[in-house]
A and B are shown apart, each in its own frame.
Chain A
């Protein structure tokens, strides 16, 4: 009797509906779970209902939008976490560099008041020690952040590799299941989409779905991370241009590790870390170094021109970390270059790093400021030297240069790390000018005067330079915070849209449960009615 089979198909459909609703309810808080709905269809010739399948409510277009937004949010969030640390460091107005520079000059002023007073001299040494220690500690805070950041890059790369490997694994399983059953289990699809969402929070990627059901995942520059069941590894590696900088390397199909540009990674935690390093951390270290160099060279020049209490010429008061030069590891030439500060052009010193590229055709060098991209050309002078940006680069043997050889010059990166007061004997402070005398304070006055002179980049006093550093970091932090807020609300909105499609609503499921209960009861009633009818027929006597 078809009435039984129709009723039975309804009972089956109803319990399948119960299962779906229960599964939805139990997974209401499962990350990555997409709401499932029962797909019902009428059986041909009015034979009842057929359960066609269980559809997951997933919109790949919205998912992609959300992943992209989350990628940006995560980058900004990482950036903000990092930059806030510098922001907080600069927040304390009483222990920052500005008050310590002021204290140094104030002690120099005391020295000018009583140039032969040992206490005043000791005072200068004390404030010089404190100031230089603060410079070093400021720099070591930043360099600790840099090495912490390298560690984080390593972690991110490991996580990205793991996630990519899992996606590749799921690709294989899904393709297999699809080939076997025509459709892959929803749970596997959910898992894979969740992994893609996780991956997007670590790095910005592009996802394209293949006919086989596989996801191909690639970076902005087109290099694939996952291709079907195959996954390509990332690794951290020293940059060719600057071995102290950790770059992301890509292991290609041939097994070679190729350095990737930092600009490839604009999103995700990885992008946030790299952007922070290139945009804020290194420039801040450079600026701090520039301040240290200007301060030390300014004081040293005046101090050396004076005479100390023993009647000897005053030497340098501060030592500095020297400028660094790195030859690109891909250089064909074998020339050795060295770099030193150029005190004669101290006012040209900038907080930028420089890329120096040899051009064999013209025999000159192209010098590019890395922060602004401004470039100039220059040729070696008679003593094989190039002078730019307050530094002097010396080439040992120009004949050993090859076309396209590149060198990176970092004039001030580690300057603050080596900033140190080297005068320990109060008598060695040169308070007097060359006429000498214990009561001579001419040089102390000249030192005191440096406080208001524009010695940093030829345009700013020490304090102004520090104020601009504070303003810069504050601005950057502020911009990142504002952007993060905007981006976060975009992410939130998209999450809401995605959830409205794919999220479970318990009220809805509760209503469904009631509905399905009635559905089940109605179908049971159909069977019961069929039985009653049959009984009626069988009861005919």
Chain B
């Protein structure tokens, strides 16, 4: 084929341009460390890289979320720790106060110690995180969840919600517990309790003290149902008791009451000592149905400790109330420990998920690198290959330029 002079130059230029473009492409790749610099370099890889980046971002988003979940739970755990300590001390004080040789003054001094513990517990129940958010208010975290009303009783004004956080792709974790579940609940396994109080809520007038109840027969058909023992004392002073259900319907007809004799119903046995007054009642139910509120227990114990004991009825009330308070403190402690255990297991879970996530993160980084990063070995050898190519093209151009008949004329 005839080659025109223009073609000679054009061909040389073309091959030099091509070599230069290839060289510059590899050069750019080496400089950026990326094989895929623009989506067009490898559309599939570029598109997948976007998705892997998203997976990476979501994983670290969940990691951040776990950090704040861990903060919240750790804070709660430390508060629950001190609440547990406080309730234990309160229980110890109850044991002290139950000592029959104490005087009114001794009990008043115990009361003032108990008052201190009570304030501590209220303080802990209204604990806030670093940002002033209340830990135990449920969704109502802007104001203190436990407030003291006009009559001096502590009321819960939060709600019963639990805040959750997405700590992994398919795991929503509760990152707090509301005040009700921590301070005003008893576990189902907390057992039975007997309280000496009339249906209208006033204290018994007699001096019956309670020991028990103790479970004697779990196979009894009436086992587990709440009941009350209602006393009647006739004009001659002889006392009878009737077992009634909570609505007042008679479950067991009136029987003669003898102090110190066990009263048995529904598989529960109580030993009642002392003289009842007409209309006195003793309620037996699961502890969680009676008074699961830790603050009420404090209030009750404080009230009874401050009251001078000058009659057998008051003596009996003191004994019964302290007994109840001890059971209730035990139950509250169990409940707090239970919540603490659940917080602890959530913290453990966070650790486990963290480990899984960091492994996942490594995988993602590897995948992304495989997709878009440069293999330096092959890139550098490519680079030298292209430089040789370009130099060869340049040499060819120079020698072609010298081959000219006019130079020889």
Taking beta carbons and an 8 Å cutoff, which residues of A are in contact with B? 28-29, 35, 84, 87-88, 90-91, 93, 96, 98-99, 102-103, 105-106, 109-110, 112-117, 432, 435-441, 445, 448-449, 451-452, 463-464, 466-468, 470-478, 481, 492, 495-496, 499-508, 510-511, 514
A445-B166, A452-B169 as given contacts; A110 in contact with B38, CB under 8 Å = no
A contact residues around B43 at 8 Å (CB): 470-472, 474-475, 477-478
Instruction: Report 8 cross-chain contacts, Cβ distance below 8 Å, ordered by A residue.
Output: A116-B142, A436-B139, A437-B138, A438-B139, A440-B139, A478-B40, A506-B406, A511-B405
In order of increasing CB-CB distance, the 3 nearest A-B pairs are: A503-B4, A437-B139, A474-B39
Which residue of the partner chain B has the closest CB to A80? B40
- A368→B337 CA distance, assembly (Å): 68
* Chain A proximity mask over B50-77: 1 for CB below 8 Å, otherwise 0: 1101100110111011001100000000
B contact residues around A507 at 8 Å (CB): 5, 404-405
A499-B6, A500-B4 as given contacts; A440 in contact with B161, CB under 8 Å = yes
B contact residues around A502 at 8 Å (CB): 4
Interface majority SS on A: helix, strand, loop or mixed?
helix
What class of interface size applies to chain B in its complex with A? Answer: 35 or more
* Chain A proximity mask over B1-27: 1 for CB below 8 Å, otherwise 0: 111111100110010000000000000
Which residue of the partner chain B has the closest CB to A507? B405
Known: A116-B133, A496-B7, A505-B4. 10 other contacts (CB 8 A): A96-B50, A113-B175, A437-B141, A439-B161, A471-B43, A476-B40, A492-B10, A503-B6, A504-B6, A506-B406
Decide if B161 touches A437 in the complex (CB within 8 Å).
yes
- A502→B3 CA distance, assembly (Å): 10
- Closest beta carbon of chain B to A84's beta carbon, Å: 7
* Chain A proximity mask over B207-228: 1 for CB below 8 Å, otherwise 0: 0000000000000000000000
A contact residues around B51 at 8 Å (CB): 463-464, 467
Decide if A466 touches B50 in the complex (CB within 8 Å).
yes
* Chain A proximity mask over B139-175: 1 for CB below 8 Å, otherwise 0: 1111000000000000000010101111001001001
B contact residues around A501 at 8 Å (CB): 2
Taking beta carbons and an 8 Å cutoff, which residues of B are in contact with A? 1-7, 10-11, 14, 37-44, 46-51, 53-54, 57-58, 60-62, 64-65, 68-69, 131, 133-134, 137-142, 159, 161, 163-166, 169, 172, 175, 404-406, 409
Which interface residue of B48, B68, B409 has the most chain A CB atoms within 10 A? Answer: B68
Decide if B53 touches A506 in the complex (CB within 8 Å).
no
**Option from B39, B61, B134, B164 in Cβ contact (under 8 Å) with A477:** B39
- A413→B169 CA distance, assembly (Å): 34
A contact residues around B38 at 8 Å (CB): 84, 87-88, 90-91, 474, 477
- Closest beta carbon of chain B to A512's beta carbon, Å: 10
- A503→B175 CA distance, assembly (Å): 83
A contact residues around B61 at 8 Å (CB): 102, 105-106, 109
Decide if B39 touches A439 in the complex (CB within 8 Å).
no
- A496→B68 CA distance, assembly (Å): 71
Which residue of the partner chain A has the closest CB to B9? A29
- A464→B163 CA distance, assembly (Å): 30
- Closest beta carbon of chain B to A135's beta carbon, Å: 16
- Closest beta carbon of chain B to A403's beta carbon, Å: 45
A438-B139, A463-B50, A500-B2 as given contacts; A481 in contact with B40, CB under 8 Å = yes
Decide if B53 touches A99 in the complex (CB within 8 Å).
yes
- Closest beta carbon of chain A to B362's beta carbon, Å: 19
